[in-house]
Amino acid sequence: MVAKIKLSNVTLKFGKFEALKDISLTLEAGKIHGLIGRNGAGKTTLLSLLAAFREPTQGQVEIDGEPVFENPEKMQQIAFIYEKNYADEYEKIPAMLEFSENYRPNYDKEYADYLLKRFKLPLDKPVYKLSKGMQSALNVVIGLASRTPITIFDEAYLGMDAPSREIFYQEVLADLAKHPRTFILSTHLVSEMDYLFDNVVIIDQGRLLLNEDYETISAQGASITGAADQVDAFVTGRKVLNEQKLGGTKSVMVFGTLDEQDQLTARQQGLEIGPVSLQDLFIHLTEEAR
Ligand SMILES: Nc1ncnc2c1ncn2[C@@H]1O[C@H](COP(=O)(O)OP(=O)(O)OP(=O)(O)O)[C@@H](O)[C@H]1O
């Protein structure tokens, strides 16, 4: 079961402050969408609208053509996983999971049990006594095992160590392949998670900067590596995003596509051309917008 999300001219105000400014975008069903933006860009605010936690001040948020706000049928199809405060959660994990089991029609208890084991989560402790990383892993279990048509993870990895984050990423990919649905992952760990994304949404200061598939974005930049003086000559006049030097070798990231002639010239000069990282493009695009 998959679902398509559409925002049309969405504005969200907190009092006089516009946290989201006239955002229109479509998120295709069955894909992994990466949502990135600097601190305070409006990611959580945007996700809370998708999850029907709030109503836009202006504009429409629709899932499969229907408004989502105060629409119980649509809301049941969306899991919004964010960092919760479990200070007052005296239940143990099995009791907590009962809610998802009862409320989510596609909830898979066997899969949840498998994930609990994979994350090595203790079942005999009240949730408030779990470490921060364990509480995040529990959120991930709820999000994945609910198998909702739309699953939103808002920086779900907070506190999780590297091996646990790796399990999270592996499970997103493996379970999506078996049970198609739409994932939206917001993150600051761009270089760690970019390989997961089919599509990337970048917002900055409440505005949409970009909503494109990962391959198209990657083609908007290139890395050029080779002898330092040759590389310097090649990148003259181009927009340099980042450079690194090791001995006589230099690697420079440039913004903009390289046409066939550029590629031929680079090869003739013994320069190596590679892709640019999403992280470098993100830093560049959000700096340029200021
Ligand atoms: N309840 C609120 N009342 C007033 N302003 C708010 C409220 N929630 C968020 N904001 C403001 O809206 C803007 C966007 O916040 P949001 O939490 O969506 O950003 P974010 O991109 O998720 O940031 P971060 O990466 O730091 O978590 C910020 O300027 C924030 O101060």
Q: How far apart are the first and last CA of the chain?
A: 40
pLDDT at 10: 98
Tens place of pLDDT per residue across the chain (290 aa): 567 899 999 999 999 999 999 999 999 999 999 999 999 999 999 999 999 999 999 999 999 999 999 999 999 999 999 999 999 999 999 999 998 899 899 999 999 999 999 999 999 999 999 999 999 999 999 999 999 999 999 999 889 999 999 999 999 999 999 999 999 999 988 999 999 999 999 999 999 999 999 999 888 889 999 999 999 999 999 989 889 999 999 999 998 888 899 999 999 999 999 988 899 889 888 887 66
Which residue's alpha carbon is nearest to atom 17 within ligand 1? 44
d(CA 205, CA 287): 11
Q: Are 27 and 152 in contact (CB under 8 A)?
A: no
Distance of CA 126 to CAs 90, 103, 130, 145, 182, Å?
Answer: 5, 22, 7, 20, 31
CA of 42, closest atom in ligand 1: 18
Instruction: List, in order, residues 6 or more apart from 189 with CB less than 8 Å away.
Output: 157, 165
What is the CA 53 to chain-centroid distance, rounded? 19
Q: In this predicted structure, what is the pLDDT of residue 2?
A: 60
Output the residue whose Cα is nearest ligand 1's atom 4: 14
C-alpha of residue 243 to centroid of ligand 1, in Å = 33
Question: Model-level pTM?
Answer: 0.91
Q: Which atom of ligand 1 is nearest to the CA of 203?
A: 21
Rounded to whole angstroms, the maximal C-alpha distance in the chain is 67
Q: Looking at the predicted complex, does its ipTM rise above 0.95?
A: yes
Cα–Cα dist 198/216, whole Å: 10
The tokens of 19 are what?
Answer: 């946290």
* Cα 154 to middle of ligand 1, angstroms: 13
Nearest CA, atom 12, ligand 1: 19
If DSSP codes are grouped into helix, strand and coil, which group holds residue 58?
A: strand
Q: In what order do the strands lie in the sheet with 221-227?
A: 239-246, 249-255, 221-227, 272-275
Interval between CA 44 and ligand 1 midpoint (Å): 7
Of the candidates 93, 163, 162, the one whose C-alpha atom is nearest the C-alpha of residue 130 is 93
- Using alpha carbons only, give the angle 16, 20, 21 rounded to the nearest 5 degrees: 90
- Calculate how far, in angstroms, residue 161's C-alpha sits from the geometric centre of ligand 1: 25
Which residues lie below 8 Å from residue 171, measured CB to CB, with a gap of 6+?
A: 115, 118, 140, 144
46 Cα nearest atom in ligand 1: 18
Cα radius of gyration (the chain): 22
What's the half-sphere exposure (Cβ side, CA atoms, 13 Å) at 138? 27
**Of the residues 20, 35, 36, 45, which should be mutated to test ligand 1's pocket, given the most ligand atoms within 8 Å of the CB?**
45
Q: Which of 11, 14, 204 to mutate to test the pocket of ligand 1 (most atoms within 8 A of CB)?
A: 14
Among residues 12, 23, 14, which one has the least CA distance to residue 69?
12
Q: Are 254 and 235 in contact (CB under 8 A)?
A: yes
- Tell the residue nearest (CA) to atom 3 of ligand 1: 14
Using CB distances shorter than 6 Å, the residues near ligand 1 are: 14, 17, 19, 37, 39-45
